[in-house]
Structure 1
Amino acid sequence: MTTVSVITPTYNRAETLPRAIESVLAQDHEAFEHVIVDDDSTDDTPAVVAEYDDDRIEYRRLEDNAGANAARNAGIRAASGEYVAFLDSDDEFYPGKHGACVDALESLPERYGGVFHGYDIYRGETYLGPEATAEGRVTLADLGEANVPGSFVATAFRREVFDAVGELDEAMAASQDYEFYLRVAREYDLYGLGAVLARHYRQPDSISLDPDARRAGKAQLVERHGDVLTDRRHAHHHYLLGLAHAKRDELGPARRELARAIRLHPTSPFPYVHLATCVTPTTFALGMAAKRRVKRLLGR
């Protein structure tokens, strides 16, 4: 019986897809299927998948490019496992990911709909540090404060969760993972494992770097979950918007967003650092480097 269904949406990632596939095949917990959903790629993705002669790999192709959540949903509908995990085609699992998640879900009460864990963040070959996650129970109130699990790569859910709360929202312009976690947390608790079990690569074309997509995603989040989002969470949104503008060398809008973040949550240190360095692109880059060093020292 299939225990874990790994869902990988992919679009024109033929170069990075092999490391994702091989990280799944290397898992010590072997009762899995890997559902790869091709979002109408125009590169060599079909040929890359065809190189793997393994019955546990299932390749599906969408007729039209519909976006990552549409591809994830197609994978969810095809999944036969008791548990569902997500792996983007440029990320990878570390050995032991499946075993740790399955062991936790099998031992936890059914009120826990999913588990999550830490992950390392890379930009290309540059290590940016670990993404810290909570250990233990996480509730809707916790998620109103912050996107505690972070990226989809850090999660695994019981299959019935999707029947209870619905599929991923294909209309979300950004924060697709966070919106889903909030919906799950209205019906279930989540549980943090603490261990670092995956690697996430930040890409230059990520929607997280698009201020317009971030604003649209924030409006959608407020419409759907404004009853639980706190000032701290709203401040973090403005902080990320400020970073997105600064990375485009749009320093005026960046300073305005960072100032809004400080007004909403004045005890967070990082908006002050970036506001102080948001004078030229060079000083902003120095501020980002300083932040990464501090986060590595703190293990965050």
Structure 2
Amino acid sequence: MRKVSVILPTHNRADLLQSAVHSVLNQTFRDFELIIIDDHSTDHTTNVIKRFNDKRINYLQNTGKNGPSIARNFGMKNATGKYIAFLDDDDEWFPDKLEKQIRILDLAKPDVCGIYSRPLIIERKTGNVILNETKVKKLRGSLLSQLMIKNPIQTSTLIIRKVCIDKIGMFDENMRYMEDRDLFIRLAMNWDFEYIDEPLTKKFHHGYEHLSENLSGQTIGREVILRRYSDLLKTKKRSWSLMHICLGAQYCQMGKMKQGRKNLLKGIVIYPFNKISFFHLFASFWGKNNYQRIRHAYKSSAIE
């Protein structure tokens, strides 16, 4: 039995997977198992894995339904570690990532479920750093209110106590977008989080090839969260309002202005003191293209 189980799902990213695996095997903390879940890949993923001669690798092939939640859950069902860490197949860890986080988590009180850190966001094609997030406020302790507004946790930066997952359940396999946020909300309803304010994970940005697909999926995910946690959100009017504002802005980005305005207006009714809601409502009357131009001229962290 290893102390940490690293869950790494992959689908048709053989060329990127090799770097991700190397970043795990090169950790200064050595007591881990690496569970790689091949989620119906049709490329040369299997051949890439076979090149690694390391007994800590457990290579599993998912032959059932596919999807990120299903693959991660399949990995967790086979995990033996005290702690669960996640890594996406196109991300990489710095060598001391596990060592620094485990040191803090070992000393943390039982009311702490996990620990996350700051990601270093890099443009894949150029290698340029897009965001070091030094100015982005991160939180430790209770994250419940923050998660209702914006998710501060990148999954590849997170380590969780397995006992907490056993108590509240794994990822919702019916959600293909924002399933991570749903899990984090459930964790935050019961425990606190720790945070390390330094980049321990390289998060690679691939451009905007699938932006419309992602926006569509995110609106579906946000609608699910609004319904699922409606009773909780109604006690936090500002958070409830911002969820509708974010949803309205995403609909406007997709060109669905009527649905966008409906959610923006609902956000204003719930909490009329968010000035950004009036900005987006005004911009929505100018059509999709003009909305995008106006939005980029006045970016808001509430829409990310």
Q: Name the TM-score class by shorter chain.
A: 0.7 to 0.9
Q: Structure 2: how far apart are the matches of 1:266 and 1:23?
A: 47
Q: What residue is the counterpart of 1:170 in the other structure? A: 173
Letter in 2 for 1:89: D
Q: Structure 2: how far apart are the matches of 1:110 and 1:189?
A: 9
Q: What residue is the counterpart of 1:231 in the other structure? A: 237
Q: What residue is the counterpart of 1:217 in the other structure? A: 221
- Number of aligned residue pairs: give it: 292
Give the match's secondary structure for 2:232.
coil
Q: What residue is the counterpart of 1:41 in the other structure? A: 41
When residues 223 and 260 of structure 1 are mapped into structure 2, their CA distance, relative to the original with a 3 A threshold, is closer
Displacement of 1:273 in angstroms is: 6.3
Structure 1 vs Structure 2 CA RMSD? 3.2
Q: What residue is the counterpart of 1:20 in the other structure? A: 20
Give the match's secondary structure for 1:80.
coil
Q: Structure 2: how far apart are the matches of 1:225 and 1:160?
A: 23
TM normalised by structure 2 equals 0.80
Deviation string for 1:204-254 (max 9, x for gaps)?
A: 43797233x334323432343223223333344344435544554556655
Q: What residue is the counterpart of 1:150 in the other structure? A: 153
Q: 2:212·2:254 contact (CA, 8 Å) conserved in 1? A: no
Q: Structure 2: how far apart are the matches of 1:95 and 1:138?
A: 28
TM normalised by structure 1 equals 0.81
- Structure 1 gap ranges (5+): none
Give the match's secondary structure for 1:98.
helix
Q: 2:28·2:98 contact (CA, 8 Å) conserved in 1? A: yes
Displacement of 1:157 in angstroms is: 0.5
- Structure 2 gap ranges (5+): none
Letter in 2 for 1:92: E
Instruction: Describe how 1:171-210 pairs up with structure 2 within 5 A.
Output: 171-202=174-205, 204-205=209-210, 209-210=214-215
Give the match's secondary structure for 2:15.
coil
Give the match's secondary structure for 2:141.
strand
* 2:3 is the alignment partner of 1:3: yes
When residues 65 and 51 of structure 1 are mapped into structure 2, their CA distance, relative to the original with a 3 A threshold, is farther
Q: Structure 2: how far apart are the matches of 1:226 and 1:274?
A: 23
When residues 66 and 107 of structure 1 are mapped into structure 2, their CA distance, relative to the original with a 3 A threshold, is same
Displacement of 1:265 in angstroms is: 5.3
Q: What residue is the counterpart of 1:97 in the other structure? A: 97
Displacement of 1:72 in angstroms is: 0.3
Q: Structure 2: how far apart are the matches of 1:45 and 1:253?
A: 41
